[in-house]
Amino acid sequence: MFNLNLVKPDPQAATGASGLGHAPGESLAATNGGSGTASGPPPFLVGAASLYWGWQTGHPVLGLLLALILEGARWVPVRWDFSDEDFRRLWTLCSVLLLAALVYAFTSHEGPSAFSRLLDSPGVLHQRRASEVTTETAASVFRWLPVLMLPFAAAHAFSNRGSLTLSTISYLARRHQRRRARAGYPILREPEFHPGYVYFIGCLAGSCMQPASGRSLSWSLACLAALVGWALWPLRSPRYPHWVWMTVMLATAGLSVAGQWGIWSLQRYVGSSSRLGEWLATLRNPGEESDLPFTRISWQGLGPWKASTRIVARLQVLQGPPPDYLRQTSYRFWMPPYWLSGDDARRFTPISETPPDSGVWPLVANATGRAVVRIVTTLPGRKDESRAGLLPLPPRTELLRNFAAFTVERNDLGAVMATGPGLVIYEAVHIGPNAWEAPPDPVQDLAVPPEIVPTLDAVLAQAGLAPGAAWKQARPALARFFAEHFRYRLWQPMPRWMRHNARPLERFLLQSREGHCEYFATATVLLVRRLGIPARYTVGYAVHEGSEDEFVVRGRDAHAWCQVWNEATSQWETFDTTPADWIEIERAQEPAWLWVGDTWSWLRYQLELVWWGHTRLRQYLLWGLTPVLAVLIVQILFRRGRRRSLRPNAQEVQPAGPGQDSEFYELERWLAARALERRSHEPLGAWLRRLGADTQWSAWIPTLQQLLLLHYRYRFDPLGLAPSQRALLREQVRDCLQQLQLRRFQPARFNKP
């Protein structure tokens, strides 16, 4: 609690402030009352660090503003007398700001979705993404440290305090001191720090979070080295000459610049290495390959992602029947073991939001679809600094509505690319007569590799079909053939001697006749094309798990099927020859604790609705922090009993530990005011011996040495002084001062060498 009083500085105390005594090895900060007069950073160092931070982070105006606020205290003659409790509240305020910034940065970098995916599927890709989110969040928070620390630093700059004790900001330190006091032990002297240096370190930490390269890196490191040298120069030991310190600083700065330049060169080499880039590309989750212009067929098995129970989409049927499939994209060219989309997959056409800011994205003109489904999913990739991905949509989708997307694009193969927040919610209007996919190409949608033609002809003969058969006859014949002669199998065993020489698709059609959906979809597309009917390989998800109007789609529901062109209706039709029991086969592998994962997925989904702004709870939480911050500011700045003081030439001595109120300091200040001050870094004993060399003071030395002994015991003895001895020190110092004031001395020779 502080009062509104004007305190006029004491010239006599100011003259002697620099000569307060200290024990051998004791710093000036300790002898001057701890928190009162400890030396801070060199003049204008904090302002220079703020300017450097603004330059490095791309906010020069903000950096200049911070420098003016903190360095402007040098020209303001008013000082606020903040107590330790006030600084604790300010530190709490900065901690709340730091926590809010941490939460905001974590959600802005898709932290919840990244870590939820890591918990569901701890693969290499998700581990890398989680580490990226952690790094980006930490970098964002560190980058804004000077702004977050501004209330604490500004309050200290405009206060009459020097250093602060550790208990000011540490609850553990305060608790330790209270426990010692309750146990009857003497209070130990606490470690001290100067907030100016803390803010300086925060500026450097925030500056280093901004990547630099090339010439800008050299200038950045040179300025950083200069700032560090500037900060450390006043703290150097007087034992070594200046040129030694300068040489060490320059050598250290040179080695740092060379090391950082080497790291940057290594990063540039790694980023430009095509071989390394190809290797990193192989770490991509195969379950997300549908947004690439190609997809690779896994001949032996679909791997652990096919058994993933992670929920990737949620559906709610609003009108009409539920869809059986959610399509993402299609492929045209078969080049074993890859399906390629061709150049058409890369040519996306932008869709205009009609009318603007309405959330309506028409894929065709005059949409008349009779079924509507609401879909909730996440965008897994990035495009133009935004989250992006292919939308899972029901076949023959005509319109997207209530969709808060940034952009929506589509290509001729039925893929819709969207950019927006991490979690997207949209309504798909489907089952309409209009189609926007491109009609079949007579070459691309009928291409069959020549080497597989004999195998296809043999299979068609077994199915009772001949090249040129009509789709009306071929559809039931192929469906019956695959249902009667083939089985679904997630893993395809392959003998070692066959791995390099065998053709897996031919072996599937003629020998094993068991495999997963990629086998069935690939074989069906090629068989239909052999009949002269255009067909495409399509990937997406199967929709089967849910109730009447609500469904969930898991990672294991990823599916591949065939799209066939129906000449009679001029539309692409879905044709799936994978045995229908594939769903039950995969469900049989469900763990007994699936409900635990589903519960966690639902909770995460509710949190993602908040983080991505699909509810107003996030706004309510942010607004809820406002009154908390307001209460803290009011308690700090507008409490009753506020006090300000004129800035003194020398700061007042404030007891901040055992022995800091020793009367011996009064005696030392009295002598210092008469040109008998102690030299810098001179122990008290040596000072008294030098004082005794003068004949007019030699008679006083025994008395002063006795007082010094009591002072040392009071300052440094863990047991302290007994009450009688404490009273003796007080009385003897008072008597000594009274006797000294009655005499006149000639101090002219005292400070001469």
Residue 546 main-chain phi, psi, to 5 deg: 160, -175
Asked if the model's pLDDT at residue 684 lies above 70, the reply is yes
Asked if the model's pLDDT at residue 541 lies above 50, the reply is yes
Asked if the model's pLDDT at residue 628 lies above 50, the reply is yes
Q: What's the mean pLDDT in 696-711?
A: 83
> Which of 125-139, 262-276, 378-392 is predicted least confidently?
262-276
Q: What's the mean pLDDT in 411-428?
A: 88
Determine the angle formed by the axes of helices 150-157 and 60-71, rounding to 10 degrees. 30
Q: What's the mean pLDDT in 462-481?
A: 90
Helices (H) and strands (E) in the chain, counts: 25, 25
Phi-psi region of 619 (alpha: psi -120 to 50; beta: other; left: phi over 0): alpha
Asked if the model's pLDDT at residue 615 lies above 80, the reply is no
Per-residue pLDDT tens for 718-753? 777 888 888 888 888 888 888 877 776 554 444 443
Per-residue pLDDT tens for 23-74? 333 333 333 333 334 467 888 888 888 898 888 888 889 989 999 988 888 8
- Count of alpha carbons within 13 angstroms of residue 425, beta-carbon side: 13
Asked if the model's pLDDT at residue 479 lies above 90, the reply is yes
Quote the CA–CA distance of 148 and 140 in Å, as a whole number. Answer: 12
- Count of alpha carbons within 13 angstroms of residue 155, beta-carbon side: 20
> Which of 255-264, 384-393, 550-559 is predicted least confidently?
255-264
Domain ranges for the chain: 286-441+595-611, 664-749
Would you state the pLDDT for residue 272?
Answer: 42
**Do 363 and 416 meet the contact criterion of CB atoms below 8 Å apart?**
yes
Give 574's pLDDT tier (boundaries 50, 70, 90).
very high
